[in-house]
Amino acid sequence: MQQDTLGTLLRDRRQELGISEREITRKLGFKSPTSYCDIEHGRKKTITLGQLRVIAEILNLDLNTLIYDERLRDTRIPIHYADFDKDETA
């Protein structure tokens, strides 16, 4: 049985909706095409709350689930809350 991780949750939902990594990367405004891929594969060191909010909106997921779900606790990317009021996506 596959372990629940933030990355697998995002990837499975993105694939379920038929959305490409490239499309999410574009909507997030990331400069590098691999930036979103790094989130799904657990290689991104941090993510802003604004970025996570945009991803949740694109994938029609509950932001609170992405932040607080106990099944994801050990696999979450640290959230940088200092950018709470910003929509920085770099």
Instruction: Quick: pLDDT tens for 32-62.
Output: 878 899 888 888 878 888 888 999 999 999 9
Q: Which pair of structure tokens corresponds to residue 87?
A: 């929509």
Domain that holds residue 35: 6-83
Is the residue at 50 inside a domain? yes
Is the residue at 35 inside a domain? yes
CATH of the domain at 65: 1.10.260.40
Is the residue at 88 inside a domain? no
Q: Rounded to two decimals, what is the model's pTM? A: 0.75
Our count of domains for the chain comes to: 1
Is the residue at 1 inside a domain? no
Is the residue at 58 inside a domain? yes
